Chains A and B, each alone.
Chain A
Amino acid sequence: MEDFYSAINLLARLDVLIALLIGSIGGVIIGAIPGVGAAVAIAILLPATFSLDPLVGLTLLLGIYGSSMYGGSIPAILVNTPGTAVNALTTYDGYPMTRRGEARRAISLAYSASFAGGVIGILCLIFLSPILAWIAPHFGSREIFLAALLGVILVVLAHRGQIFAAGMLASFGVFLNTVGLEPIKYTQRFTFGQSWLSSGFDLIVVVLGLFALSQAFLLLLDKDNSPKPQPLKGSLFTGLKELLAHKRVTSVASGFGVIMGMIPGVGEFTAQFMSYTYAQKTSSTPEQFGDGAPEGLIASEAANNAVPAAAMIPLLALGVPGEALTAMMLSVFYVHNVIPGPQLFQNQMDFVMALYIAMLLLNVMVLLFLLFSTNLLTKIIQIPTRFLGIVILVLSFVGVYSLRNSVTDCAIASVFGVLGVILKRLNLPIVPIVLGMVLGGIMETKLRSAMARVKEPLDFIDRPIAAILFAIILIVIAIHLRTLFFEYRKHSQDEDHELHDTQIR
């Protein structure tokens, strides 16, 4: 309880509250505009947050992360274009509802489900915190190494159909992190005698290129387009009541969101589809799914909104980010010398608690904002896509250049921007590169410190948590091989779909 009061004290500051307000409302707007996701916004804002207090900077970024999916449901439901990638499933039932004249009901349900998912996710974490604080100190170097390795394996295996490509991109990310002057023996690695390569590839420069610049290039290269949603009439409060009739689906979907969010490399998509499959299988009208089923919409939105809070768990407790957005946030911690990991949970529980309370508050703020200003947002999302490309390009400049006023950084970011364009056009994932960079660095450091106390190879897994993590790695690989074997025997071809064509990320 002491931590709780201390957390409230930390949050009761004007700058934190303003950051929360800007982050949450800004996040909704960014999420609502197809073509700009939370990743683009966070990448651009990262360097600007370095000069802020850690709590202020993180609150701002968390606000964007936690609220963008709320906004993303608006174009998904009204114009069949997801605002962010994780709202893609929302189009599945949301848009058919709009077509049959139930747009207001769909939007209202999406907001309510998102709110429920977000709040349930955070409450789970608040109650889980004492357990996490107890478990986290049992994670030494070898356990963190194995957790990071598990993250890399999962992020590769999660890209079905492109596992080889995901594997080579994740390895490429690990390689990028090794370039430059290595900090232990002070030898040069892959610098080719070039002084500009000695400091290596900065994560933020790479991320800005891959996410923001690539998106700007794509928007400018493609045909100009402007969504035209119809304004909504009537109150949006009805969804809150209707949601009560779907308590079971809401809570199960949120539960999936929490569990999947905690596992590195997995995230929203898995949570959504497990919830969706569950909702469909247990529904009395399964045939309506995909044709405007309210439960389908609830399953999708509750699950994806429960993820952000859960995704903070591996980041805060172990210092191991599970996906691209938390990987970017890790750099905010490092810049301020706040090292996430077991020590943070042990010594700065009030800081962790403050982040959770901030997330709770942001969900309330976003819901209130959306209930009264959805029609305003339907106007904002009409921004023409090429114009949006210009805005992202101008903003990307601030992001890269303000880091250290380097033209070289901008050139490197541009090269990664073109790589991002190619990957997005090829339907290949960007996230493995980013996670490879971050987790590669963690694995290198942790292996070095862990091996100092290991005499025999088996000593590496002689502690219970290390043994469990190692067993999970083996099980994950075995399950994947088994799936491949059965698929090969079945010789079935899945239908093509555009879910991963990342124009919308």
Chain B
Amino acid sequence: MLQVKTLKQLFQRHRRPGNLFFATTFLILSIALLIKVPDQTVWQKGTKWFSQPALWPIISILGMTIFATLNWTSAIVSKKIEGRWQEIGFWLRAFEYVGWFMLYVISVPFVGYLPSTIIFAFLLAVRAGYRSRKMLISSVVIAILIVVLFKSFLQVKVPGGQIYELLPDAIRSFMLTYL
């Protein structure tokens, strides 16, 4: 249950484990960007300050650095919250699914949108721990429905797979256009 009693308390966001690590990383990033400002932006002669290409990168990176310093300071003086490394481990586990996603992205132009979506959804369902026939069939059905909805009906721009070239002419053009 929520424990919010007042308007003031509603807006209060409380710290969670891993806060100091994130604050430190963000501060390092901000300082690194600040150092790179002269290399990565141009301050042109004869151009007024408000039209300078470097103005908004400078404003934003200065904002990042100032706020990141304050955020880091407040994180370091706050009480330590247990579970920092466990939490960072959780973040890193997200990269497994980034890998799955990128594999799916890379496979589409070769295998085709429909086949790769079916394979991806099915394998991911297995990876997610589903073993029942109902859930595995559902993953295939939902994959087909999504492809039909977006490619066949909404005609979104997803190219056909190279594998479709191996199909007979009549089926190939259908697959390239709709699936």
Contacts and interface: CB of A to CB of B under 8 A. Distances in A.
Interface of A: 47-48, 51, 80, 88-89, 91-92, 95, 158-162, 164-165, 167-168, 170-172, 174-175, 177-178, 182, 184-185, 187-192, 213, 216-217, 220-221, 224, 269-270, 273-274, 277, 384, 386-387, 389-391, 393-398, 401-402, 404-405, 407, 410-411, 414-415, 417-418, 421-422, 425-429, 436, 440, 443-444, 447-448, 451, 483, 494-501
9 contacts: A89-B2, A165-B23, A171-B62, A216-B97, A391-B146, A397-B104, A422-B22, A425-B18, A428-B13
Given A160-B13, A429-B13, A175 B57 contact: yes
Interface residues of B, number: 85
Interface in B43-86: 44, 47-48, 50-51, 53-57, 59-64, 66-68, 70-71, 74
A184 B57 CA distance: 14
B68 A168 contact: yes
B30 A273 contact: no
Given A161-B12, A188-B40, A410-B105, 14 more contacts: A95-B1, A159-B13, A160-B11, A164-B67, A165-B23, A168-B67, A172-B60, A184-B51, A220-B97, A270-B7, A273-B7, A391-B146, A496-B3, A497-B3
B160 to A, nearest CB: 11
Closest 4 CB pairs of A and B: A171-B63, A160-B11, A167-B67, A168-B67
B40 A189 contact: yes
Contacts of B62: 171
A159 B94 contact: no
A96 to B, nearest CB: 9
Contact of A190 (B14, B33, B87, B142): B33
A407 B67 contact: no
Contacts of B146: 391, 394-395, 398
A246 to B, nearest CB: 21
B159 A495 contact: no
A405 B158 contact: yes
B54 to A, nearest CB: 7
A423 B98 CA distance: 16
B174 interface: no
Contact of A414 (B5, B98, B143): B98
B128 interface: yes
Interface string B26-44: 1000100100100011101
Query: Interface majority SS on A: helix, strand, loop or mixed?
Result: helix
Contact of A499 (B2, B94, B100, B135): B2
B12 A168 contact: no
Given A190-B36, A274-B7, A407-B106, A185 B101 contact: no
B97 A217 contact: yes
A306 to B, nearest CB: 17
Query: Interface majority SS on B: helix, strand, loop or mixed?
Result: helix
A387 B101 contact: no
B10 A499 contact: yes
Contact of B1 (A91, A188, A393): A91
Nearest to A386: B128
Interface in B146-174: 146, 150, 154-159
B7 A401 contact: no
Given A386-B128, A494-B8, A164 B71 contact: yes
Nearest to A186: B53
A393 B26 CA distance: 27
B158 A159 contact: no
A343 B91 CA distance: 46
Contact of A277 (B7, B70, B94): B7
Greatest chain B CB density within 10 A among A51, A164, A213, A415 is at A164
Given A170-B63, A184-B53, A185-B47, A269 B11 contact: yes
B135 A387 contact: yes
A178 B128 contact: no
B56 A440 contact: yes
Contact of A497 (B2, B15, B44, B139): B2
A3 to B, nearest CB: 31
B56 A405 contact: no
A259 to B, nearest CB: 14
A394 B121 contact: yes
A474 B95 CA distance: 44
Interface in B121-143: 121, 124-125, 128-130, 135, 138-139, 142-143
Contacts of B156: 47-48, 51, 398, 402
B139 to A, nearest CB: 6
A185 B120 CA distance: 45
B98 to A, nearest CB: 4
A495 B63 contact: no
B33 A175 contact: yes
B60 A189 contact: no
Contact of B13 (A89, A386, A500): A500
Contacts of B57: 175, 178, 189-190
A224 B129 CA distance: 9
Contacts of B70: 164, 167
A447 B48 CA distance: 12
A162 B4 CA distance: 17
Nearest to A152: B63
Given A187-B53, A277-B7, A160 B12 contact: yes
